[in-house]
Each structure stands twice: as C-alpha cells, then as structure tokens.
Structure 1
Amino acid sequence: MQFTTFIAAAAAVAFGANANVIPRDDARLGQFRVFGADGCSDLNYGFYTVDQSDANTCHEFTGVPASPGVKSVVLEGMYYPAANGCNFYIYTNNICTSGRRSLSVSSCNDVPPPNANWASWKMDCSSGSANGN
C-alpha cells in the first residue's frame, strides 16, 4: 500500500513539473557563462542562453552583483545550424558600442584594463540563418 502511494505521488510530481514547461518558439543559438573574477573560474554567476529572438540586439548583463560585476566571460557553445553566420560579442559599455571583443567557443575573455567590467553582449546574426536568411 505504501509503495503504491509513493509511486502515485512521484507520478503526480513528475506530471506537474512537466505541465509548467514553456516551449521555446525560436532556435537556441548559443550559451555563455559570466564570472565576477578574471580567469573564468572564480565567482561563477551562471550561464545565459541566447535564442533567435535575442539576435541582433544589445543586451546588458542582468542578474549579476554590481560589485564586482562581470570580469570574465566564456562562450560555452554555438548551436549550429541555427547559429550559422552569427558572431558573439561582448562590450565594455552597456549600449554595445565600446570595447567590442569577438568570442570564440571555450576561450576565456577577461575585461581589458582600464575597464572595470564587461557591461553588455550581442549575438550578431545580420547575415546568418538566425536572421531568417
């Protein structure tokens, strides 16, 4: 009797959890991780996913402590074929105009002196399939 109750409870939890999943309407282009220290290992703030709807738009880093801010970034993956023709950039200002650096997969990128932090990012797909071409 207790085993049957346990199975029923586990099934209810599993089905309830799946009921809250919201499907994406567009393709996943990439994923990157941000850190509050140089070297892409200390103060791991987590990862960001980049979907097609994020392409060609400047985004500020959100959800990270203002101090110390974003000190290093690693591009963990680009997902092809959706990301064909796309390039991932990070910037030292929050409007994607200063200190631009192109990231390649698995390469750590520390903020260059004298800048305090990386402030924004952009997945540029202006000539790629993610833009509908």
Structure 2
Amino acid sequence: MHFTAATLFVPLSALSLALGAAAAAVPRQDPHIADFRSFGLPGCAQDNQGVWTFTQSQLTGCQTFASFGDADVQSLLVGDISDGCSLKLYTDDACSEDELQAASGSCQSQADGFKSFLLSC
C-alpha cells in the first residue's frame, strides 16, 4: 500500500481540528491572574529576562526572583493584572522593604533591584 503526503494530511488536519474544538470547550480551572516581563537594567528596555505568567494556583505568598533564576531584576513591565488582584514589589527577600504597588501597563524600576514580590487577589 502506498500513501502520499496529501493522503495523510487530510485525516491529520481533521483530527487537529476536532481536538482543538474539544479543548476550547473545556472550562478554565486555573484562571490567569497576571503577567509581567523582567529586565536586568532600569527602564524596562534592556537585558530582557523573559515573561512571567501566573495563574490562581501559583499565588503562594511572598516569592523571590532568585528562586526563579533571575537574581538581578531592576525593572518590570507589567502586562496585566486581573481585577481585584495586586502585584507588590520589594527590595528584600522577605516582601517587607520598600513596597511598590505595580499597575497594569506600567514600568517599575529599581536601580538596587527588586528581590521579591507578592501577587495576591
């Protein structure tokens, strides 16, 4: 029996469509809470460290940037924060010094670096 790429393409694309439709119908059990991008320099433009995305199940109290591998975070570009939730940034590892409230769409800079954050709802 001889199959061509076109013969295999139709069934696989139909399967992908069916699986995609089924996945879209599943209700979200762990809602998105916030996302932000960290930078190693002030100003939210240089030394991009990547995007951080958090869901409801990841709200576990005070968290340090070092525990995620980014020990030198000097600025954060906040993408969005769900209504009723807040993101607070701190210059120490215990979420207690120099609290700064971050808002959606804002750039927060700290030359000495942010060491921890508290995301809560």
Among all aligned residue pairs of Structure 1 and Structure 2, give the percentage whose two residues are the same amino acid.
Answer: 29
Where does structure 1 differ by over 6 angstroms across 4 or more consecutive aligned residues? 9-12
TM-score (norm: length of structure 1): 0.67
Pick the structure with more strand per residue.
2
Q: Unmatched 5+ residue regions in structure 2? A: 21-26
**1: CA distance, partners of 2:96 / 2:28:** 29
RMSD between superposed Cα atoms in Å? 2.6
**Deviations 1:36-59, CA, capped at 9 Å, x for gaps:** 111101111111112222336011
Q: What is the letter of the counterpart of residue 32 of structure 1?
A: F
Tell me the secondary structure at the aligned position of residue 8 of structure 2: helix
Give the greater-gyration-radius structure (CA). 2
Matched, 1:38 2:38: no
**2: CA distance, partners of 1:109 / 1:102:** 9
Q: 1:63 aligns with which of 65, 69, 75?
A: 69
Question: What does residue 74 of structure 1 align with?
Answer: 77
Q: Unmatched 5+ residue regions in structure 1? A: 126-133
CA contact (8 A) 2:33 2:81 kept: yes
Question: What does residue 123 of structure 1 align with?
Answer: 119
Matched, 1:103 2:102: yes
